[in-house]
Amino acid sequence: MEIKNITGSVPITYQFDVEQPCSFPFTPDAGTLKIKFTQPVEDDKLLRLWFEYEGNIGVTTWEVNRVTPGWVELGMYAPWFPYSPELKQFCYDVLVHIDHSYEVVGLGKVEKLGEGLWHISQKRPSVDMVVTASNRFCKLRSAESGLEVELDYVDVAKWVVEDVFKKGLQVSKWYSEWFGVASSGDMRIVITPRTEGGGYTRTGFVVLPHIDAEAYTGQEIRYFSNLAHECAHLWWANAPVNSWEDWLNESFAEYSALMAVRELFGTAHFESILAKKLECSEGMPTIRGVERDDEKAFTVLYDKGCLVLYGLERMVGKETFLKLLKQTTTQKVSSTEEFLQLVAAEVGSGVATQLDRMLTN
């Protein structure tokens, strides 16, 4: 992307650095923009910045976001909009001009204003701006436990989509019972035609990679676990994502998915997955303090973190464990220290101390 101009409601200067690696681990293709105010600014003064830039977007490094004839998907991984991790969450409005044969689905309320013109309005604070578009969208809609669910998909066998949709509704019902009603109020699932890049979740918005019908038959538990993990982020998304504290998001979402696997497929499959995670966790760094961009961070958060939560569940029992999880989501716990304090208050300081040791071993 090429910056044409940046202006502000107060005088500014700026420098755009595309030579040095981006410090934010989830946007390796991004450049760093430094804006300097050339005069003092009052703390409570409203500031406005206007960005003018243009460029072509292909397929990004992580192969998640892309602009191609068959599929358009834009989000922070591209990156296609100015973003500062320090802002944490924001609202937005986006106007999309696109060929009239395409339908637009995005994060927020989507309205068609005319032929080839769409408006996306996100009034609930989020960390991303997501726009997807295709000329082959199909959809399903339903509701479960007060949660409105819509599934939009491209190039997936209908019987597969119907099964995924049914399982998505069941997962949302279990999570609502276990963790309380999701703050997002509804859920939209998008199954993309891309095979690379994996899935992700934003405020009430779940994106999944392509699901192959032949593979789905033989790998039902893996596909279900991926779906359940992403759906769980509707509850587990309160902690910072760019530090080891992300275990409160990723480990909790992954263990929630395993709990759903236990409910649907039985204890034997649940324990088999845990055994594999134990094997993968051998020799891994500690959860506490692991760098989020460390190549081993995925295993630490997804595998080792699950084992820690399994250990906590065994220590306190399933009923008390679920009570802890519900209080964690209700109180929007966003740091490990807060979680340890909650554990100490509910089940005792001894358990909190043991949990802390597991995070540092």
DSSP string, 82-127: ---GGG--EEEEEEEE--TT-EEEESSEEEEEETTEEEEEEEEEES
Amino acid making up residue 307:
L
What letters, b where the CB count within 10 A reaches 16 and e where it falls short, cover 295-318?
A: eebebbbbbbbbbbbbebbebbee
By three-state DSSP, how is residue 179 classified? helix
Do the two domains 138-232 and 244-359 of this chain adopt the same fold?
yes
Whether the pLDDT of residue 275 is over 70: the answer is yes
The helix (run of H) or strand (run of E) holding residue 173 is helix 158-179
Max Cα separation, the chain? Answer: 65
pLDDT of residue 145: 60
Banded pLDDT at 144 (limits 50, 70, 90): low
Q: What is the mean pLDDT of residues 49-74?
A: 92
Average pLDDT in the 270-286 region?
97
Confirm if 339 and 248 have CB atoms less than 8 A apart. Answer: yes
**Position 252 pLDDT exceeds 90:** yes
Cis peptide before 79 (omega within 30 of 0): yes
Task: Report the pLDDT value the prediction gives residue 185, as an integer from 0 to 100.
Answer: 65
Helices and strands, number each (H, E), in the chain: 10, 16
Q: Say if residue 277's pLDDT is above 70.
A: yes
pLDDT of residue 166: 92
Cα distance between residue 182 and residue 26, in whole Å: 25
pLDDT of residue 239: 94
End-to-end CA distance of the chain: 44
Model pLDDT, residue 62: 83
Kind and range of the H or E element at 277? helix 267-281
Q: Which is it for strands 205-208 and 186-191: parallel, antiparallel or unpaired? A: parallel
Asked if residues 264 and 300 have their Cβ atoms less than 8 Å apart, the reply is: no
Give the pLDDT score at 94.
Answer: 96
Least confident among 29-38, 79-88, 292-301, 312-321: 79-88
Domain ranges of the chain: 1-55, 138-232, 244-359
Q: Can you give the pLDDT at residue 19?
A: 87
With vertex at residue 55, the alpha carbon angle to CA 26 and CA 87, rounded to the nearest 5 degrees, is 40
> At residue 147, does pLDDT exceed 90?
no
User: And the tokens for 258?
Assistant: 């395993």
In the beta sheet, which residues pair with residue 53?
3
What pLDDT was estimated at residue 27?
87
Can you give the pLDDT at residue 186? 79
Is the pLDDT assigned to residue 204 strictly greater than 90? no
Position 322 pLDDT exceeds 90: yes
Q: What is the mean pLDDT of the chain?
A: 93
Instruction: Say if residue 105's pLDDT is above 70.
Output: yes
Q: What are phi and psi of 183, to 5 degrees?
A: -70, -20
Q: Which CATH superfamily is domain 138-232 in?
A: Neutral Protease Domain 2 (1.10.390.10)
What pLDDT score was predicted for residue 41? 85
Most confident of 38-52, 79-93, 197-211, 308-322: 308-322
pLDDT bin (cut points 50, 70, 90) of residue 183 is: low
The secondary element (H helix, E strand) that includes residue 292 is none
User: Quick one: fold of 244-359?
Assistant: Neutral Protease; domain 2 (1.10.390)
The answer for 64, left when phi > 0, alpha when psi is -120 to 50, beta otherwise, is alpha
* pLDDT value at residue 327: 97
Return the pLDDT at 195.
92
Angle at 205 between CA 200 and CA 210, to 5 degrees: 55
Any idea which residue has 């479960």 for tokens?
A: 144
pLDDT tens, residue by residue, 17-57: 988 888 888 888 899 999 999 988 888 888 899 999 998 98
170: Cα separation from own chain's centroid: 20
pTM score, two decimals?
A: 0.87
Residue 143 predicted with pLDDT over 80:
no
